[in-house]
Structure 1
Amino acid sequence: MDPLIFNALADEGAAFTAGVAALSTVDWSRPTRCAPWTCGDLVSHVRTGFARVPEMLALPAPGAAEVDAAGYFRPDHRFDPEVDAARVAAAQSDALAGPAEAAADLATVCRQTLAAASGAPEGRLVRTRHGDAMTLPDFLVTRVVEVAVHGLDLADAVSAGSWLTGPAAAVVFRLLFGPQWTEVVRTTGWDHARLLRAATGRSADDVAPVRPLTLG
């Protein structure tokens, strides 16, 4: 496995967990740009995404990969109103009572996820809850995208500084812009958080990713 992917997941997971631990009980119920989710709901959604990794690895591997990380974020039936409503409801029903409890739980889930991923054999395939067969590294890239982008959503909701890590930015920008991603960073002159907001439609800044992603 590309060490950058694993390190990005580990570093961004730790940064996100620290960000959650720093929230107040008032912050927990603040709205986010991912309406109708509150901060607590959004944390629940990210936690669920991490937990899928050990769950997948406990199941038999599919025979062949069918989609890559970019294909996972394609706009299809997974973003139909009914599916979106179920995703929203699941995050709301699973949200824990407050940030301290959620941060402790998230730290445990992150450790379990990293342990499962590091123990998987080279070339391991997994099947997503939507039925896509993928390589494990490609699925881990999708987890980096989720925790990085929603980390910005959470930080922005409480007017906190971005905790986006360098390894996570590299993984996400490589997916969005391809091998020339460093040139995009240089040309815009923006910091990583500003570029990620722009590339995912979270600001008025204008930048066009090579591979636009449909995010829930």
Structure 2
Amino acid sequence: MNRRSVAGAGSETELPERGPSEVGGSEVGECVGDVDLVRAAFRAECLRLGEVLATLDPTDLARPTGCVPWTVAELLAHVRTGAGRLIDMLAAPAPTGALVDAAGYFGAAKFTLEVDAARIESARAEAGRVESARAEEARIASARAEADRVEEARVGDGRVESGEERFGSEGARRGVGLGEDFDRAWRAALAAVEACPPDRVVRTRHGDAMTVTEFLRTRVVEVGVHGLDLAAALDRPPWLTTAASRVITDLLTAGRRLPAELGWDRLTLITKVTGRTPCSPAEQAALARVGLPLLAFGR
């Protein structure tokens, strides 16, 4: 496994406005290929997304995203599936064969039209499943509240609605199903990772063999970059954590330092290289000069 070094991986939210010669490349310090640092980045980014999910309402979930044709709810379903993918992968026998690293996982050849179409429909189906469960919870909560009102009127004891009942109706209105589902998925995946050696080999949905640490790096990318998509759709500032930004930046730059004339910080680098914001012809030329790998990141 190719390991490249960056500075420490904290979980704070603020992205430092660093000099262009310091974005990407190697620094003396911690190694982003180390499983403990990749785990920390995955955990930090999932925790932050979970905090955001707790603030969403049905209107937020119905918003369109830049990942056409997904709504916020459908994009969240895709992120939840990706965050939990390692659960089944680690339950399967370890494969043999040549290993692919995280950059190889995002190779353009992997994301064919057929694969992309299946990915889109899978997220829509998952979002529909969660929404159906949420709607059923709302129906039950509403029926319970109505029964309570009838009982109060009959007995006349002035009983106050319990905290559990208040949470049931409020949670149903705020789409708590998605948040709980996501929380269960990423925590179960992380627990499965922590229970196995970091060089344990898994088989991806593309058929490649990867170490669990390298595949977990791709999960940091999925949660972090799609978090930028969600922030844009929700008209909120990006919440990308520093830990995740370092893992993602290292993957995108392949350890190379960027030309000084770009003047990018990590957040700018990530949005530009993944296609979230366009690169000018001059920026494209500068990236070509340092030979950044061509990776495919879905919108």
After TM superposition, the score normalised by the length of structure 2 is 0.67
Instruction: Indicate which of 72, 77, 83 corresponds to 1:50.
Output: 83
Structure 1 portions without partners, runs of 5+: none
Verify the 8 A CA contact 1:49 1:143 in the aligned structure 2. yes
Q: How does 1:10-159 map to 2 (within 5 A)?
A: 10-76=43-109, 78-95=110-127, 96-97=130-131, 99-159=175-235
The CA RMSD measured in Å over matched residues stands at: 1.9
Verify the 8 A CA contact 1:19 1:155 in the aligned structure 2. no
Alignment coverage as a number of residue pairs: 213
Which structure is larger by alpha-carbon Rg, 1 or 2? 2
SS, match of residue 100 in structure 2? coil
Higher relative contact order (CA 8 A, sep 6+): 2
Once the two structures are overlaid, the 10-residue window that deviates more, 28-37 or 13-22, is: 13-22
Aligned identity (percent) is: 43
After TM superposition, the score normalised by the length of structure 1 is 0.91
What is the CA distance between 1:50 and its match in structure 2? 1.3
The alignment status of 1:171 with 2:253, answered yes or no, reads: no
What is the CA distance between 1:168 and its match in structure 2? 0.6
What is the CA distance between 1:29 and its match in structure 2? 0.8
**C-alpha spacing 1:187/1:101, structure 2 compared with 1 (3 Å):** farther
Verify the 8 A CA contact 1:164 1:192 in the aligned structure 2. no
What is the CA distance between 1:105 and its match in structure 2? 1.3
Query: Separation in 2 of the partners of 1:154 and 1:22?
Result: 13
Structure 1 residue identity aligned to 2:247: V
Structure 1 residue identity aligned to 2:254: G
**C-alpha spacing 1:122/1:195, structure 2 compared with 1 (3 Å):** closer
What is the CA distance between 1:186 and its match in structure 2? 7.7
**C-alpha spacing 1:16/1:71, structure 2 compared with 1 (3 Å):** same
